[in-house]
Amino acid sequence: MQLNNLQQIFNLLDGKPKRNLVAAWAVDSHTIKAAAEAVEMGFTEATLVGDETLILDECKKHNLDPGIFNIVHESTENSAAVRSVRLINDQQGNLLMKGNLSTDKYMRAILDKEYGLMDRGAILSHVTVIKIADYHKLLIIGDVAIIPLPDLKQKIAIANYLIRTAHALGIEQPKLALLAATEQVMPGMPACMDAAIISKMAERGQIRGALVDGPLSMDLITSMDSVKIKGVISNVAGDADCILFPNIEAGNVFYKINAQHGNSEQAAIIAGARVPAVLSSRGDSTSTKLYSIALAAMLAN
């Protein structure tokens, strides 16, 4: 199945079990409105954790019925983040969302060794689904926000998160491209060598569920014209579903250029915790937050 826009994720949720969203410090209009839309669309219930007075004021301001939410009062960002994670651990939610609090406070609660959401040895990574105006389908990309310079083990984890996300979106055999500055296997470039190793691992069945190729330069990943001009033989090039970036600079620049100047749509979650966790910017639109909730709902057990 090929998805051409993020709206189609809502169609995939039809008939799925209803999920339970817990939103940490959900005191801002974008978070509350996105949660309300998710509830009204019927694919989730929502618990808003934060200052109850602020939440009720925002509901009144935007003519939202606060009765559609379970509101849990916490007076500070830190206490809201901690309470939200504990609600997840108490099985009162199966997906988490960042509201109007800083990322470091949100992540600190997730990573807490005693009360957080991490199993031993787990690797957290950021997964983004993005629709670029001039590309013919959705792209699933990582990591653009959490791991600065992933080593080989972390890249393998990221690859598996991207593949799992693609499967959740109905793509049976996604095409995963491993980005480098060149398609040549250059021994002096770690990105090329890691990509070559991961490609061989996939060929040998150590990474399953996708067609994997790399190293590939960006033009080869997204442009069939470049594939033809360069004469590259690849079952991924020019038609990738997923892109694994070699470092956070490459991923973040790609994401922000398309977000700011490419008229793109995005959904973003953290993978690797016990539940999918929505991680969007405090300035993101209601639609971006809603798409992110829908993506998390698709990935929630």
Q: In this predicted model, which residue has the larger pLDDT, 15 or 140?
A: 140
Dump pLDDT digits (tens) for 105-150: 999 999 999 999 999 999 999 999 999 988 999 999 999 999 999 9
Instruction: Identify the CATH assignment for 8-121+273-299 out of 3.30.428.10, 3.40.50.10950, 1.10.3720.10, 2.40.50.140.
Output: 3.40.50.10950
Sheet holding 44-50, edge to edge: 70-73, 44-50, 19-24, 95-98, 277-278, 265-271, 125-131, 139-142, 242-244, 175-179, 211-216
Band (210; pLDDT cuts 50, 70, 90): very high
Q: Is the pLDDT of residue 1 over 80?
A: no
Q: Is the pLDDT of residue 174 over 90?
A: yes
Specify the pLDDT at position 74.
98
Q: Is the pLDDT of residue 89 over 80?
A: yes
Q: Is the pLDDT of residue 284 over 90?
A: no
Q: Is the pLDDT of residue 282 over 70?
A: no
Specify the pLDDT at position 242.
98
Whether 158 contacts 146, CB under 8 Å: no
Residues 6+ apart with CB under 8 A from 75: 51
Specify the pLDDT at position 72.
98
Q: Region 63-81: what's the mean pLDDT?
A: 97
Percent of the chain having pLDDT more than 70? Answer: 99
Q: Region 84-94: what's the mean pLDDT?
A: 97
Specify the pLDDT at position 272.
96
Q: Region 140-167: what's the mean pLDDT?
A: 97
pTM of the model: 0.94
Specify the pLDDT at position 262.
73
Asked if the 125-261 domain carries CATH number 3.40.50.10090, the reply is no
Which of these, 143, 179, 147, lies nearest to 161 by C-alpha position?
143
Residues 6+ apart with CB under 8 A from 68: 36, 39, 40, 46
Alpha-carbon gap, residue 131 to 14, rounded angstroms: 21
Alpha-carbon gap, residue 78 to 298, rounded angstroms: 28
Specify the pLDDT at position 183.
94
Q: Where are the domains of the chain?
A: 8-121+273-299, 125-261
Percent of the chain having pLDDT more than 90? Answer: 90
Strand (E) positions, the chain?
Answer: 19-24, 44-50, 70-73, 95-98, 125-131, 139-142, 175-179, 211-216, 242-244, 265-271, 277-278
Q: Is the pLDDT of residue 281 over 80?
A: no
Q: Is the pLDDT of residue 292 over 70?
A: yes
Alpha-carbon gap, residue 217 to 257, rounded angstroms: 17
Q: Is the pLDDT of residue 158 over 70?
A: yes
